[in-house]
Amino acid sequence: MQQRTLGKNGPRVSALGLGCMGMSEFYGPRHEAESLATLHHALDRGVTFLDTADMYGSGANEELLAKVLATRRAEVFLATKFGFVRDPANPSARRINGRPDYVRAACDASLRRLKVDTIDLYYLHRVDQATPIEDTVGAMAGLVRAGKVRHLGLSEAGPVSLRRAVAVHPITALQSEYSLWTRDPEAGPLAACRELGTGFVPYSPLGRGFLTGQIKRFEDFAADDLRRHQPRFQGENLARNLELVRRIGELAARKHCTPGQLALAWVLAQGADIVPIPGTRRSRNLDENLGALDVMLTPAELAEIQAIFPADAAAGARNPAHMMQLTAR
């Protein structure tokens, strides 16, 4: 398995990680046995970088990973996140809490659910606009000193927040949505990461599955699938985006790979400091994703992809407005 370094002097991890969110929530029915089999298969294939969060399934995703970590902890670079607080009476309602007391309590709760002594990479899931990030990261740094956490990360933070955080403690990774159809990090966060020696971890590098070419209609989504509420998957936006994916599929066919592999290869080609974490709960999809590591794109092919899919090509916002407001500067 190819490996990459998170940040300038950070840990070595598999060149592709595994996002585990969809195993517990947001993307249709859950199948624990299938998810556990996929987690074990990922480790068997050499994937070391597993990504979860305390909000996924309201803790259920961390508990799922604990069943694998019980016997294979040494094989895993374990990342989890805190910051989203959900209302048990209304799971779709959420707020952000980055207060120092909550940082410590959230970490202890994650350690209990994961049944581990140490978290390898602990992210602030979203920046709390009501709490100075220096206070939040200061509390996170305390977790490092206490031996509960090895490395710190931020998610969906902009360059200003990242620089303020790094002034308190080194930030090993910034995680943000990044793919052919979500190019926002190119407007500042990626450059800031490289300036500060912070690694970059793209989530949803397959455009929430859209870039695989498997999604054809709005009706393909289960009733509880979060994509039903995202503008890019609705109405005229969906029709326009399907045409983009069709053209990517034509290029993939000429390259003798799948559209998803081409999309992942494009993300990987944006820099050796980038470690994508495509999510899946199926072993066959995992194997397809890992095949992207063997897809080498020439400068001419990268230029053709850019012509098909420039930064502003996708129709519709990537998230509803209330979620976009949670992305910090």
Active site residues: 56
Say if strands 149-155 and 90-96 run parallel, antiparallel, or are unpaired.
Answer: unpaired
Beta carbons within 10 angstroms of residue 109's beta carbon = 14
Distance (Å, whole) CA 6 – CA 4:
7
* Measured distance CA(1)–CA(14) in Å, rounded: 7
Q: How far apart are CA 37 and CA 212, in angstroms?
A: 22
Return the structure tokens found at 29.
Answer: 């029915």
Query: Which parts of the chain fold into alpha helices (H)?
Result: 32-44, 60-72, 100-114, 133-145, 159-166, 189-196, 235-255, 259-268, 283-290, 299-308, 321-324
Task: Evaluate whether 160 touches 191 at the Cβ level (below 8 Å).
Answer: no
When computed from its CA atoms, the radius of gyration of the chain, rounded to whole angstroms, is: 19
CB 91 within 8 A of CB 58: yes
Pairwise CA distance, residues 247 & 305, whole Å: 9
